[in-house]
Amino acid sequence: MKYYSMTAPEKERGRIMKLYKEESISNFDFWSGAKDTAKYLTEDELDTIEEMLEEQYPDGMSETELNDFFWFEDDLIAEWLGYEDFEAIMNRNDEDEEDED
């Protein structure tokens, strides 16, 4: 997944330079609520999401856009992965444990 970043001081001084970086989202350092979303996903699921995002955003996303997508679009992520909502993903481990009993 291609994404870019800009530091706040560069924006404030009027100098804006986009630095592009191509990296798998499984290696992305999510923060805030996005970190909570990502922790429930497997590497294969992150790869699937990455493929979908590359189709939706062929020019890439900023780090903030990628992070915000994971933070605020968790139900869409679940839908892309074939679940009704993100709560179903969060609860799947509980269901697996019940099946073992």
Provide the residue ranges of all domains of the chain, joining segments of one domain with +: 2-100
Can you give the pTM of this predicted structure? 0.79
Q: How far apart are CA 51 and CA 53, in angstroms?
A: 5
Q: What is the pLDDT of residues 23-47, one digit of tens each?
A: 899 999 999 999 999 999 999 999 9
- Residue 53: per-residue pLDDT: 96
Q: Is the pLDDT of residue 69 over 90?
A: yes
